Chains A and B, each alone.
Chain A
Amino acid sequence: MLKLHYNLERVSMGLVAAIIIAASVGGIVEIAPLFTIDETVEVPDDLRPHTPLELAGREIFIREGCYACHSQMVRSLADEIDRYGPYSQAGESAYDHPMLWGSKRTGPDLARIGGKYSDEWHVRHLIDPRSVVPASIMPAYPWLLKSLDTDLLTDSLATLSELGVPYSDEMITSAASDALAQSRPDSNETDGFRARYEERPAIRAFDGDPARLTEMDALVAYLQALGTLTVVSETVVVEVDE
């Protein structure tokens, strides 16, 4: 063996090839099956993609680096299930490009946050966290009250649909007006929105002001949708470990 190596280290391309081979095996064994085994990701029948408004909110969540302190992955541990809700399943994030499972909880997990607090609480909390949670160490985000730029939404939905997220052509072309409609319950566009996204996504003035479409509308719509894209998460049987 030593003799073999003695010769190998005299040939630079030999070393290069050996390094590539040695460093490829692990990745291939662990990653490739995740794409081929159907059982790995069972996409729930009722899994819906994000609406354009929620997607815009998700991009704001990413832009502000929220994922650095908030995970979106409830592990299958008793205390996490008691604290946050049913553990996260692979299928729930099947349409998430990228996933936002996170790696650190400076703040609590958000995988099941949808519906736990009112819109008003979220708005106040985002503008000034310590006004509702005095001991919070979260930064304030007052600039979220600026109006939402919907310019990229159509292209965003089109890109995601190329990557396999089930957005119809109609959803893609009306993405910007759907974002507006979801935050304006009284507008004429809500019928079209309902026709495309059916009954489940909420139509509300998320920031409390139906006259304006703000980044706050988008982010709160996204937060309120977390954990509600499929009902599967609510039917998980919690195994009791005696």
Chain B
Amino acid sequence: MIATLTVSERQAGLLLSIILAALGLAMAAAARQGVMSVHGFLALGLGVGLAFMLGGAIYDPEPDEDRLRSYYDAPTQFGIVMTLIWAVIAMAVGVWVAALLYWPEATPLWPETSFGRLRPVHTTGIIFGFGGNALIATSFHVLQRTSRARLADSISPWVVLLGYNLFCVWAVTGYLMGSTQSKEYAEAEWYADLWLVVVWVTYFVLYLRTLARRNEPHIYVANWYYLAFILVVAMLHIVNNLALPVRWSSAESFPIWSGVQDAMIQWWYGHNAVAFFLTAGFLGMLYYFLPIRSGRPIWSYRLSIISFWGITFFYIWVGSHHLHYTALPYWAQTLGMTFSVMLLVPSWASAGNAIATLNGAWHKVRDDATLRFMFVAAVFYGLSTFEGSFLAIRPVNSLSHYTDWTVGHVHSGTLGWVAMIVFGAIYTLVPQISGRDAMVSSRAIEWHFWLAVSGTLVYVVAMWNAGITQGLMWRAYDENGALSYSFLQSVQAMAPYYLLRTIGGGLFLAGAVICAWNCWATLRLAHGSAKDRPLLPQPAE
């Protein structure tokens, strides 16, 4: 990575590394002990490490002037490597905690490895580590190609990626040490949240600056989605995480929101993390890589406009469907339900647009496992958005809420849709940035594909059965008007499903490991860089 920077860029990087190290040192010194000091030392270590790397290579040969005539893919490659590392770690943790539900005696008696602390490691590791790195890495690629311009500078992509991964490491190591805000999918403590805001602003500014240099008059659809992802996630993150630290030298804090307002804001955040992190960003990925891989233009431009604005406008309303029959005012629940149902229109418009794009390329779907990943992703996107609208209907929700059906729904979205589109994008990207025609092993892609599909189906079907069984057992009355089952009986009934879901997760994890190996082998045999070039401004005649 350092070879791609000029001497002045290396100097700027060195300065930033020293600032990071100083910040880490200040944090560690202020906290003296506990999670925050460990995190301070982590930042110090990263800063010092980077400073040594840059300092040691500062007067190495500079890249030639020609570099400005190519795309800047080094950050994308780093982001993909991080994506795969997080995928393997966080999916393995997921399989492990799933196994603990079937076999609770296996829990080692250390606080750090108990279910309640590992569970957010899985969710944060997957959503932010795996999903977030994939989004950032692909967004740099897509932004440059669709703008036909090189990234606006060479420092900020590294600030974004390294800073973002520092946030992820802070978050998951914090949970292991018992530091959490308890807000689902926003568990990281206040200083990590502040740090993420800095990283995110850098990301947004880089995105806009690169867009400003574009050599295409129009901003391509994929970028609308990536922009919505960046902007709305910033809004959600800031509002939901507003908190007062107990002390400036302690990780502990109290959210400023309480009770019913906190619940509404939490699920406004929670569901829109699904919408703008796990959907909008990945739709951006789909809108670029699906046409590229299939060699067909997006089927309908109008449909993409309708679905983009539909998703951006409708999604924000639906969070309250997480709070049906609770103490949240009834009108807010009703609004959440209504918009959830309406949301099916733009969601299916996107899914349909993607599938119709494949018209005329079905033979490629048959032959090319990479394209098949994207096709399955679009199908699962359609299925899980339908399921989502269905589960948001109040009477359905009375059965499904609090059960494993919700878990099944989430995984049909994350395994079936999000992970599949990421793998499709990775298998398209990795050969390209390695200057190769294809991945090292196409058989490994086939294996990965079938492991991923079967793992997803086993997992989701097991959780559907589990959830519906739970829901029905909880509400069953006997002929005397008493509840038929104790809660414990419903727990016991889950055992076979929990075993099946562990197996499903294991299959999916095995596929991800194969993918990581395949990418490693391909990147190792890279022949230079991507062959496509940005359009250089032509001097006026």
Contacts and interface: CB of A to CB of B under 8 A. Distances in A.
Interface residues on B, range: 35 or more
Given A23-B231, A65-B117, A98 B182 contact: yes
Interface string A21-43: 01111110111001101001100
B20 interface: no
B259 A96 contact: yes
A106 B494 CA distance: 10
Contact of A63 (B101, B180, B259, B491): B180
Nearest to A158: B246
A137 interface: yes
A23 B228 contact: yes
Given A5-B305, A16-B231, A143-B111, A26 B339 contact: yes
Interface in B179-200: 179-184
A98 B181 contact: yes
A97 B219 contact: no
B302 A103 contact: no
Interface in A157-213: 159-160, 162-165
A75 B258 contact: no
A70 B475 CA distance: 18
B313 A97 contact: no
B406 A19 contact: no
B262 A96 contact: yes
B356 interface: no
B59 interface: no
A115 interface: no
A172 to B, nearest CB: 12
A150 interface: no
Interface in A86-110: 87-109
A105 B313 contact: no
A108 B489 CA distance: 11
B402 A64 contact: no
A67 interface: yes
A141 B178 CA distance: 13
Interface in B224-264: 224, 227-228, 231-232, 235, 239, 244-247, 250, 252-264
Nearest to A17: B231
B116 A97 contact: no
A214 to B, nearest CB: 14
Interface of B: 100-102, 104-105, 107, 109-111, 114-117, 119-120, 175, 178-184, 208, 211-212, 217-219, 224, 227-228, 231-232, 235, 239, 244-247, 250, 252-266, 268, 276, 302, 305, 309, 312-320, 322-329, 332, 335-336, 339, 398, 401-403, 406-407, 470, 474-475, 477, 483, 487-488, 491-492
25 contacts: A9-B224, A27-B239, A34-B264, A63-B178, A64-B117, A65-B182, A68-B115, A71-B402, A75-B326, A77-B398, A88-B326, A89-B327, A91-B259, A94-B260, A95-B259, A96-B259, A98-B262, A104-B406, A107-B491, A139-B116, A143-B110, A155-B247, A159-B253, A163-B258, A164-B258
